[in-house]
Chains A and B, each alone.
Chain A
């Protein structure tokens, strides 16, 4: 080996990491002082890296091939292939008039080409002109190659090399994480003092020098410590649970209602407003309650809904061949039922919604303080027992209504009508047990039009009786029906979710 070859051989060995420790040390000492050697080594490394980047080389090769193919395939006149056809026309060798071109086949593209031919100061034409003339072809190719490669170098850096660098980094990271020198079992054995003496010595020696192993052991220790913190894990779970189930506002339900009703004063109002300003949950709650109040206040809409409901029921009733007893004044009964339903729903729901979590009672008190009845048209027909009871009911003579109803003979199949109004009267008299009893009869009948209403009113009675589980069950049944009271039942459930637990 000549000294020059030996020189390169050593550089190569160094770059490929083939020198033994002593040779490497010697080489590096030389490298530190010899700038020429450093440059040579750098060059070797660059070449090595470049050679290793086979994908870049392949791409470069492919691009060059494409470029060459383009050069070969480029038409000599460089007119986007359109002149190929034109060149076949002998006449084109001569001067063509514009009209002649227009009249020929594919005239518009040809006109376009014609114009290009006429203008010689465009770059594209210069370029193709030079190619056609064959003048200095080699030079042009060289220039073009130079130009192309310049562009490609930028492309390589921007697109490929950053990718390669990132990939290399990622691979190194992956290698670090997936190839631990010691298994979980061995590290655990070490931490638990279960490692054999021989391996222990080796492990500890490694530990002193290997920071990755040290980190790994540290991680194991940390994990063990973390998992021993069962109290903290429990506390975190508890906090999470509270935050998922509790409301985040610091004011009572009553304060919210009073705020909406404009009854909060002075300090309370100040505190409430301060919280409302920042507490988005409270803002949402106030907005929801206001909307519910507005919705309940829409008596006309509710009345319309009731009428539509009746129309539907009436149609169904017709189909099942009159479930309600035929001797009833249907219109009057419906009116009574709707009126009672309306008032009970309005007043009852307002009462329930206005109440605080603990004050279902107060809601009912409020409801029964001043029940107002919609005006009713005068009954000119002969009064039967039910109609007389209705009048008594209107006059708030609930006891009288009950007595009249009790004395009104009805068949078993018609008893649910009587039971329903008896229940309503008992409810007005705050005799919840009796009301529940009669509502139950209506529900148990299983085949009448009052069941949904009976369930709804019975749920309110259960609330009054403080039978929360039953009330909840009843409200859920109402929701399941997806009928007229579904939304109201949901609202009551939502409002009372703390007391219904």
Chain B
């Protein structure tokens, strides 16, 4: 199988390169899966953690905040996965001390920046999850609005007769989104964590 350098992998993640993403999955997922299953997690937990770890790395890359000095991509990925799982264990009130560490990780990567980024990722991930549950009409409308497309233009694209209707519809969509977010128990947990 072809192997890629860390630089190629990082570039691939930035470009959402399917081949690189497949490579990462095939190369590292099973180790993360093994670690999580050994530590009271399930297959679903493993795929969630793995996916979010890639997203966290992507966020880091976007912020130009990812330089491997002592670590490697593998080391960083495993460290992030481990960190995410520790957070989950904490939420589930499962003792972290009994952790069965099968992943190589670097404690020094767990800095405030990572904690902050992971928190943001978790919060934004929740909002995005609910956004995806809206009707495609609502999704498109909100997205156009956030892309600063004018109401006139939005009305035209969406086939609404007036701008006023576009505006009202946008409020309705957003209201629904906010309602769903607030009703989510995860949201309440996030709020508790923040306080």
Contact = CB atoms under 8 A, between A and B. Distances in A.
B33 A227 contact: no
Contact of A246 (B26, B55, B124, B174): B26
Contacts of B27: 250
A318 interface: no
A280 B1 contact: no
Interface string B17-31: 010011001110111
Closest 4 A-B residue pairs measured CB to CB?
Answer: A279-B30, A226-B127, A226-B124, A278-B34
A235 B146 CA distance: 19
A220 B143 CA distance: 14
B40 interface: no
B59 interface: yes
A226 B123 contact: yes
A248 B1 contact: no
Given A227-B143, A246-B25, A281 B55 contact: no
Interface stretch (B76-84, B110-118, B177-185): B177-185
Contacts of B1: 250-252
A238 B18 contact: yes
Interface string A207-241: 00000000000011011111111111111101110
A177 interface: yes
Contact of A243 (B18, B29, B123, B131): B29
Nearest to A243: B47
Interface in A32-80: none
B30 A235 contact: no
Most-contacted residue by chain B among A240, A249, A250, A281 (CB, 10 A): A250
A223 B132 contact: no
Interface in B14-60: 16, 18, 21-22, 25-27, 29-31, 33-34, 37, 47, 50-51, 54-55, 58-59
A242 B22 contact: yes
B127 A222 contact: yes
B22 A232 contact: no
Interface in B162-180: 170-171, 174-175, 177-178
Interface residues of A, number: 40
A280 B34 contact: yes
Contacts of A228: 146-147
A184 interface: yes
Contacts of B18: 238, 242
B174 A188 contact: yes
A247 interface: yes
B164 to A, nearest CB: 12
A236 to B, nearest CB: 6
B106 interface: no
A184 B37 CA distance: 43
7 contacts: A183-B171, A223-B177, A226-B131, A239-B21, A243-B25, A246-B22, A275-B30
A213 B22 CA distance: 44
A229 B128 contact: yes
B102 interface: yes
A185 interface: yes
A99 B124 CA distance: 87
A238 B16 contact: yes
A240 B55 CA distance: 11
B142 interface: yes
Contacts of A188: 170-171, 174
Which of under 10, 10 to 19, 20 to 34, or 35 or more describes the interface residues of B? 35 or more
A54 B85 CA distance: 48
Contacts of B51: 236, 239-240, 243
Contacts of A246: 22, 25-26
Contact of A230 (B143, B178, B182): B143
A229 B124 contact: yes
A339 B182 CA distance: 68
Contacts of B127: 222-223, 226-227
Contact of B25 (A184, A227, A242): A242
B123 A280 contact: no
Given A219-B178, A238-B16, A278-B102, 10 more contacts: A177-B182, A236-B125, A239-B54, A242-B18, A243-B47, A243-B51, A246-B25, A250-B1, A278-B34, A282-B30
A234 B21 contact: no
A167 to B, nearest CB: 17
Interface in B62-91: 62
Contact of B124 (A230, A232, A238, A275): A232
Nearest to B29: A248
Nearest to A245: B22
Contact of B174 (A184, A225, A248, A280): A184
Interface string A450-475: 00000000000000000000000000
A247 B16 contact: no
Interface string A256-282: 000000000000000000010011111
B30 A247 contact: no
Contact of B178 (A223, A238, A248): A223
B58 A235 contact: yes
A234 B128 CA distance: 11
B123 A222 contact: yes
A275 B143 CA distance: 43
A238 B47 CA distance: 13
A217 to B, nearest CB: 12
Contacts of A225: 124
Interface string B115-152: 00000000111011001100000000011001100000
